[in-house]
Structure 1
Amino acid sequence: MSALCPVCNVTLPLPQIESHVNGHFEDEIDPQIANDHYLALQLASSSSDPPPTLKEAPFLDPFNKIVPFLQNDDVVCSQTKSPFYRVENGGLISLLKTCLESKTKPLECSTSLLSGYVDHFQSTNEDKGWGCGWRNIQMQCSHLLSRRDQEVKRVLFGGSNFVPDIPSLQWWLELAWRSGFDVSGGLHFDKRIYGCKKWIGTTECAALLRSFGLRARVVDFAPEKSRSMYLLVPGSAVAPKRRAYGPMDRYVVIKGGSGVGKRGDSHGSSSSSRISKGAVLMEWVWNYFLDNRLDVSSGVHITNKGPLYFQHEGHSRTIVGIQRRLQGTTFTPQYNLLILDPADFTRGIEKALVDKRGWEGYLKRGAHPLTCPEYQKDYDEIQMLYVDNGIAVGEELEQLKTIDSHFVEF
């Protein structure tokens, strides 16, 4: 039998509830004693009582706040694989490649660059309206697990080799906070997000992935005037005077130059003049997937680059590629982003790609939404997240605990 704590609403086996409630009113409790006391109660409880779940096993931290009695091994053993609709015939990226190839007209100078394998995770009735950030994390991780990098598979989610569901991802994010990743961000949530329907952004994704040693990088696209609005605090988290994308993005530390014509990371824009935000973003994405190759022939190419977590005000999606067409006698480039949206149904995307009809409405996005007046508010500032190769250890891993960002202005 179990009972509900009237103070914190945690459910515990009946033999433990009295001690737990009394703990709320004690002046000082040593956290180690609290842990030992909990374990003793657990062993002394009736064998007929079911063992407490992760949610039901609290301990008292030094600040006397109830937090989960949670360790890495607990999450590894208790995490659940996320259900999703698996697309056959090589997956969505393979189907998209076929459609792009069949759509290319003779003598047309069109080039498409695609990420590798990505599973689409659609929002459900349970997470509609708040779960897009988690769904994009799942898409990012599906790509990471599809690669041949055995070291990444070993460290990601404890070597489970599957993409966890949203509650399990929430546990992993709490562990990241408790391990010192994005300290200020974790404090904003009181280091608790399990079971919460709270909107997250790129910094939460970065903290979660970095906690495994993955080199998750954040890039900010914002107007030149916004640069003076960032409050820089070297070596610590910040609270910039700007509109935040999500709860934690206000704590991003901005570093690097304008990003236009500079290589603060490996994907700086190639033009030093101030151009439209749509052109800046498209060129950056093109250079990201191009990956420093001097030339690429027309056609459709699967690259070695992973997908991009693409976030703007109020929504996030996953960029899986980009298409460039050279128009007119001046060969002016026209770009289309190739995007997977958690708000779409996977079966609908698959059917459109298999039928080669209607798929562009799902997947292709041009630059005009980034420049039209009605989209100005939503797209004034945009963030991207990508994952570099390799696993960070030692001092580099410690540095990754502070979520920083490369600034690209338009």
Structure 2
Amino acid sequence: MLPSCPFCHISVPSAELERHANNHFVEDELESDMELAMQIALAPPSPELMDETTNDRDQYAARSERSPGQHDSDFNHNLPNSRKVDDQETSLLIGSQIKSPFYNVQGGLMALIRRCLELENGNAITIVSGHVDHYQSNESEDIGWGCGWRNIQMLSSHLLGQRPDARDAMFGGSGFVPDILSLQRWLEVAWKRGFDTYGFDSFGQKIYGSKKWIGTTECATILRSFGLRARIVDFDSMTSKQPLNHRNPGCKLAGKQSHGPMDKFLQRTMNEDSQVGPSACDKHLPEKDCHHQGKNQGKIYGPQVLVDWVWKYFACEFDSRLDASKSVLISEKTPLYLQHDGHSRTIVGIQMQKGKCASDHHYSLLVLDPAHRTAALERSLADNNGWQKLIKRGTHTLKKPQYQLCYVDPGIAHGVEMEQLKIIDSILVEL
């Protein structure tokens, strides 16, 4: 006998029960159903309620045993009544969020990438992130608008797999990457807690169930709401008089209305009063004597500035070890969420092909694109055939006037720093 929905009592296959129940959250009757739903979320685990595609029974039981509000003690601190977060609402989300399905590459996609890089001929040094799962856009779910959410999922997969402190803090300690609908709920919770109040209002205080474009600002908002030190860096040619509106690609925002992920620097660029503690980003800013000299004094132009920053970001932890014989190094740095007008991708590493001198070095970003099929990536890497066209991006391919990166510094914020993280600011690097 099929299990029935606790809200409408319709019989639903067990694999679809949680998603079906989650859809009721958009209805006006949420408050009246809350008490019953909470009892279900806190009940002992039942095989019928398990997501059959995940087999994460231990994770389900662990989050079922958490007491209401255990992860919500700071949610209502200094918030106006109109933005109070219901502890039951958040606990319900923790218990009902759904693990996002994805194509699981045997042994891990990053292991295949490292193997192919090691097989390459040439005088190159490559630095790559550790574990990262590839989340592809789904034709029936998010084609044309979901790349931002997919990059959040890829960055989250790294944090959950590489950092125990982040695993405990993120998504109520569930230990898995939620689907897009669940991520939309987490973003709404972050807004209600006071993170990125402008975004909260600009999206009409609601995003669940919508197909609106999001960007690195929303990624930082979700991660910061868990205490993660998500940072944003803007790269701009300064040739565009109007900032990019990432929520409507191809459209420019006007003047003071600009607060998107690539335009907030117009009003909040590296303000020392609002900067949240010492950021690892400071170590990756281009050196002034290299990038602000005269035209004929070695100035680095355009996209090379971005590539130079990415190289320093990944390379700074290795120092002298970059000269060692090992050609592929694994970084502890988080991947980089790369945003530009019309699309976003995840940078999982960078390769430097050595020339006769430093000025002759050539760089290639290593990216995972949500628009690519994971199975196609796996086949190409397994056969060591054609994978470069899918993953490598040279400096010459960076033709947009504006880019933005999001990454995560180590550690978990608390107290005053947590309050400071609510203001989503950025650092500007001129192209």
Distance in 2 between residues matched to 1:40 and 1:256, nearest whole Å: 45
Structure 1 residue 137 corresponds to structure 2 residue 152: yes
Deviations along 1:355-392, one digit per CA (max 9) or x if unpaired, are 0001001100001122xxxx4xxx11100000000000
* Contact 1:217 1:388 survives alignment (8 Å): yes
- 1:344 is displaced (CA, Å) by 0.2
Residue in structure 1 matched with residue 426 of structure 2 by the alignment = 405
Residue in structure 2 matched with residue 163 of structure 1 by the alignment = 177
Alpha carbons of structure 1 residues 263 and 338: separation in structure 2 relative to 1, 3 Å:
closer
Alpha carbons of structure 1 residues 395 and 124: separation in structure 2 relative to 1, 3 Å:
same
- 1:340 is displaced (CA, Å) by 0.2
Deviations along 1:30-86, one digit per CA (max 9) or x if unpaired, are xxxx96x7879999xxxxxxxxxxxxxxxxx977x9x99972211101100000011
Residue in structure 2 matched with residue 280 of structure 1 by the alignment = 305
Counterpart of 2:355 (choices 295, 320, 327) is 327
Residue in structure 1 matched with residue 44 of structure 2 by the alignment = none
- 1:104 is displaced (CA, Å) by 2.4
* Contact 2:227 2:413 survives alignment (8 Å): yes
Counterpart of 1:200 (choices 214, 223, 227) is 214
Distance in 2 between residues matched to 1:394 and 1:284, nearest whole Å: 31
Structure 1 residue 316 corresponds to structure 2 residue 344: yes
Alpha carbons of structure 1 residues 69 and 152: separation in structure 2 relative to 1, 3 Å:
closer
RMSD over aligned CA atoms reads 3.5
Counterpart of 2:92 (choices 50, 53, 74) is 74
Residue in structure 2 matched with residue 396 of structure 1 by the alignment = 417
* Contact 1:112 1:321 survives alignment (8 Å): yes
Residue in structure 2 matched with residue 46 of structure 1 by the alignment = none
Residue in structure 2 matched with residue 289 of structure 1 by the alignment = 314
* Contact 1:240 1:250 survives alignment (8 Å): no
Alpha carbons of structure 1 residues 304 and 243: separation in structure 2 relative to 1, 3 Å:
farther
* Contact 1:200 1:247 survives alignment (8 Å): no
- 1:163 is displaced (CA, Å) by 0.2
AA partner of residue 114 (structure 2): K
Counterpart of 1:360 (choices 385, 388, 392) is 388
AA partner of residue 313 (structure 2): Y
- 1:330 is displaced (CA, Å) by 6.3
Distance in 1 between residues matched to 2:412 and 2:379, nearest whole Å: 37
TM-score using structure 2 length: 0.71
Distance in 1 between residues matched to 2:24 and 2:394, nearest whole Å: 53
SS in 1 for 2:213: coil
* Contact 2:307 2:363 survives alignment (8 Å): yes
> Percent identity between the aligned chains?
45
- 1:294 is displaced (CA, Å) by 2.9
Structure 1 unaligned blocks of 5 or more:
3-10, 21-33, 44-60, 231-238
* Contact 2:99 2:179 survives alignment (8 Å): yes
Alpha carbons of structure 1 residues 176 and 229: separation in structure 2 relative to 1, 3 Å:
closer
- 1:265 is displaced (CA, Å) by 1.8
Counting only pairs closer than 5 Å after superposition, residues 120-135 of structure 1 correspond to structure 2 as: 120-125=134-139, 126-135=141-150
AA partner of residue 211 (structure 1): S
Greater strand percent: which structure?
Answer: 1
TM-score using structure 1 length: 0.75
Distance in 1 between residues matched to 2:332 and 2:311, nearest whole Å: 13
Deviations along 1:150-183, one digit per CA (max 9) or x if unpaired, are 2211110000000000000000000000000000
* Contact 2:336 2:405 survives alignment (8 Å): yes
* Contact 2:336 2:406 survives alignment (8 Å): yes
SS in 1 for 2:195: coil
* Contact 1:122 1:346 survives alignment (8 Å): yes
SS in 1 for 2:347: strand
AA partner of residue 386 (structure 2): G
SS in 1 for 2:157: helix
* Contact 2:270 2:425 survives alignment (8 Å): no
SS in 2 for 1:254: coil
Which structure has the greater CA radius of gyration? 1
SS in 2 for 1:309: strand
Distance in 2 between residues matched to 1:41 and 1:103, nearest whole Å: 58
Residue in structure 1 matched with residue 332 of structure 2 by the alignment = 304
Alpha carbons of structure 1 residues 242 and 140: separation in structure 2 relative to 1, 3 Å:
farther
* Contact 1:184 1:251 survives alignment (8 Å): no
* Contact 1:320 1:338 survives alignment (8 Å): yes
Distance in 1 between residues matched to 2:242 and 2:365, nearest whole Å: 29
- 1:332 is displaced (CA, Å) by 1.3
Aligned residues: 342
AA partner of residue 121 (structure 2): T
Alpha carbons of structure 1 residues 275 and 391: separation in structure 2 relative to 1, 3 Å:
same
Residue in structure 2 matched with residue 267 of structure 1 by the alignment = 284
- 1:228 is displaced (CA, Å) by 11
Residue in structure 1 matched with residue 403 of structure 2 by the alignment = 382
Counterpart of 2:364 (choices 312, 336, 351) is 336
Deviations along 1:260-317, one digit per CA (max 9) or x if unpaired, are xx99622111323342222101110000001254331251101111100001101000
Deviations along 1:199-223, one digit per CA (max 9) or x if unpaired, are 1000000000000000000000002
* Contact 2:243 2:262 survives alignment (8 Å): no
SS in 2 for 1:122: coil
- 1:191 is displaced (CA, Å) by 1.7
* Contact 1:185 1:251 survives alignment (8 Å): no
* Contact 1:226 1:242 survives alignment (8 Å): no
* Contact 1:200 1:248 survives alignment (8 Å): no
Counting only pairs closer than 5 Å after superposition, residues 167-246 of structure 1 correspond to structure 2 as: 167-224=181-238, 241=255
Distance in 2 between residues matched to 1:287 and 1:41, nearest whole Å: 52
Distance in 1 between residues matched to 2:197 and 2:114, nearest whole Å: 41
Distance in 2 between residues matched to 1:41 and 1:329, nearest whole Å: 68
- 1:254 is displaced (CA, Å) by 3.0
Distance in 2 between residues matched to 1:330 and 1:220, nearest whole Å: 25
Distance in 1 between residues matched to 2:268 and 2:385, nearest whole Å: 43
